[in-house]
A and B are shown apart, each in its own frame.
Chain A
Amino acid sequence: MNIILNNNQESFEGDRLTVNEILKAKKFSFKMLVIRINGKLVKKDEYDTAIVNDGDKLDVIHLVSGG
């Protein structure tokens, strides 16, 4: 399937994947994330269940301390 990940077109094996499956495939190991599917917030306890479908827009923001 093809999705828009952080404004870039990306391809993944399979028709629908959970957020966690995509994070694993992308080897994202960050701790503090803010994730949206098509603009809608996905909370951390939903990463195993929230589904990303073909054509979806997925935003992953990785937060680090400092300011």
Chain B
Amino acid sequence: MTFKEIKNILKTKKVGIAGAGGLGSNCAVALARVGVGTLIVADFDVLSEDNLNRQYYFLDQVGKKKVVMLAENIQNINPDVKVIACDVTLTEENIPVLFRDCDVIVEAFDRADQKKVLLETVISCMPDKKLVAGVGVAGWGHNETIRFRKTGNIIICGDENTEVGPDMPPMAPRVGIVANMEANAVMEILLADECVS
């Protein structure tokens, strides 16, 4: 497929992104660059300076709402992408409503307990929806441990092991790899859908 053909398919697609931090901001930007038509991005957080070690934002955006700034950054990269910025805390009640029409959902949270809520909600309330999750991104090096596996409607990217901690911070290279793996998995799903139909 040529990039023109790819763009023509992707512009009709809608992707939900749960979290606009390291995974979410980088994954959203990758999907925007290839021309995914609509991105629904949900996050309640405000940008802090220490987020800049990995998240797709700029120094003059510190103190502002991440979803609003992400929409602005994407606008500057590809104005054809419609970003629906949702300044909300995702819960088991609003996840099925917010992401109902999405072709794929991306799990891009920081905390394991939030990841669990999203995975469990999608498994129990939206069992036919594909969910791409990022699990195990902390630290540096160890490219060989980063992997990809599918289990039912869940696709997992990451080393599934390394947890953030004081001596194991999340940083741009490894978080960026997994965020882009998530975007790559989303593209595969969106383009495969099209080949079948």
Query: Given the complex, which residues of B lie within 8 Å of A6, measured CB to CB?
Result: 149, 151
Count of A interface residues, CB-CB < 8 Å: 18
Partner of B163, one of A34, A39, A43, A65: A65
Residue-by-residue, is B84-108 near A (CB-CB < 8 Å gives 1, otherwise 0)?
0000000000000000000000001
Q: Are A39 and B110 in contact (CB under 8 A)?
A: no
Count of B interface residues, CB-CB < 8 Å: 36
Q: Are B123 and A36 in contact (CB under 8 A)?
A: yes
Chain B residues with a Cβ under 8 A of chain A: 19, 21-24, 108-113, 115-116, 119-120, 123-124, 127, 133-138, 149, 151-152, 154, 156, 160-164, 170, 175
Q: Are B156 and A61 in contact (CB under 8 A)?
A: yes
A7 contacts partner chain B, Cβ-Cβ < 8 Å: yes
Q: Are B160 and A62 in contact (CB under 8 A)?
A: yes
Closest chain B CB from A55 CB (angstroms): 17
CA distance A9 to B11 in the complex (A): 41
Q: Are B115 and A63 in contact (CB under 8 A)?
A: yes
A67 contacts partner chain B, Cβ-Cβ < 8 Å: yes
Q: Are A67 and B24 in contact (CB under 8 A)?
A: yes
**Beta-carbon contacts under 8 Å, A22-63 to B:** 31-34, 36, 39, 41, 43, 59, 61-63
Query: Given the complex, which residues of B lie within 8 Å of A7, measured CB to CB?
Result: 149, 151
Further 13 A-B residue pairs, CB within 8 A, beyond A61-B133, A64-B112, A67-B175: A32-B113, A33-B116, A34-B123, A41-B124, A59-B152, A61-B135, A61-B160, A62-B161, A63-B119, A65-B164, A66-B110, A66-B163, A67-B23
